[in-house]
Amino acid sequence: MQPLILADRNNARYRYESPFDEQKISRMHPASREFYEQVKSLAQNKELSALFLSRQKTVDEREKTQKSFDKAKKSYDTQLLENIANATNPGDNATSTTAREYSQKIERLTAQVRNTEQQIHAHLGIQKLWGIITPDDAARNQVVADFKMFQFWFPLKELAWQLLFLLPIFGVFYAWSIRSVKKGNPIQTLIASHLMVIASLPIILKMIELVLDIIPKHFFKNLFKILQSLHLMALWHYFIIFGSIAVGLFLVYFIQRKVFNRQKVMQKRLMRGGCTTCSKKLPPSAIFCPFCGSGQRTVCVACGKETPVGGLHCIHCGTSR
């Protein structure tokens, strides 16, 4: 409690953000807001602030005295052992007297701290604050329910904000891939498709993080206990590594084989009236491409007539190719 009461006083640094900033407090949960507003009012109480400041100074002085006492006691113990080894009478020397004075000072400072704390706890504002910290069961259950709801919805909101940044990058590479396919540029298509995979990996990882955040924590806790009991904890790391590699390979396969495979590329070029090989615009009823020389017709195995290359069905009999 003392760090909060003396927060503004002990942090006079440039660009220091006070924990009692009005905007921060307004965004808090009602229970947290009530707590911080009460602490803020206590921090503005000069009498109470003086008590906390007095306690802080006394505690700091006691800690310094404790260090001096430990140092003097160590010196005394070393000298005592040397006297015993030399068979001399240790007597009452200056080192032991200093250690005794430090010990008495520590006891006196401890009594001062205890007395100051009694005055602090007797303050009405502090008693009210303790009442806020220790609510009844109904209020406590409401806070727990709100916190669980926050744990569920916050990862979703966080993912939504992250996707606002990640999806445009993925969209740029996707548009580049579509354009490369339309232009029939295999090098650009290859580069763009791989960049799509790279851009999709952060999105997939964020999705995995979301799933891990939503899954109850005790599930992984129990899983780790089982792995540790079986001395198989390293398998978890291998699972993560191989899982990430598998996801990346699957994305490459899906994009290259399912989205940008040769058959789909030929169909798109055919729909635009372009060459199925070089994608350039063909003259009407062209059988061969005047630019690359590739044939644009094939013979249907069912009716024996010519049908465009790249089509799924014959244009004369409708037989599937």
Quote the pLDDT of residue 63. Answer: 93
Q: Where are the alpha helices (DSSP H) in the chain?
A: 2-5, 7-10, 22-26, 30-43, 46-85, 94-121, 124-133, 137-183, 186-214, 217-229, 233-253, 262-271
Q: Per residue of the chain (321 residues), give pLDDT as tens.
A: 788 888 777 776 667 777 788 888 888 888 888 888 888 888 888 888 899 999 999 999 999 999 988 887 777 666 655 555 555 555 456 666 787 888 899 999 999 999 999 999 999 988 998 888 888 888 888 888 888 888 778 888 888 898 898 889 888 988 888 788 777 677 887 788 788 878 888 888 888 777 777 766 556 667 667 767 777 666 666 777 777 777 777 777 776 666 566 777 787 788 888 888 887 888 888 888 888 888 888 888 888 888 888 888 888 888 886
The answer to whether 275 and 266 are in contact (CB under 8 A) is no
- pLDDT for 5-60, tens place per residue? 887 777 766 677 777 888 888 888 888 888 888 888 888 888 888 999 999 999 99
Contacts 24+ apart (CB under 8 A), 181-188: 181/260, 181/265, 181/268, 182/268, 182/272, 182/279, 183/279, 184/269, 184/274, 184/275, 184/277, 184/278, 184/279, 184/280
Residue with tokens 């003259």: 283
Residue with tokens 């952060």: 202
The answer to whether 27 and 19 are in contact (CB under 8 A) is no
The answer to whether 300 and 317 are in contact (CB under 8 A) is yes
pTM, two decimals, is 0.49
d(CA 60, CA 66): 10
The answer to whether 177 and 191 are in contact (CB under 8 A) is no
User: 282's torsion region: left (phi>0), alpha (psi -120 to 50) or beta?
Assistant: beta
Residue with tokens 């059988």: 287
d(CA 168, CA 37): 41
Burial class (CB in 10 A: 0-12, 13-18, 19+), 269: buried
Contacts of 39 (CB under 8 A, 6+ apart): 1, 4, 5, 20, 129
The answer to whether 121 and 2 are in contact (CB under 8 A) is no
- pLDDT for 83-107, tens place per residue? 555 555 554 566 667 878 888 999 9
d(CA 286, CA 274): 10
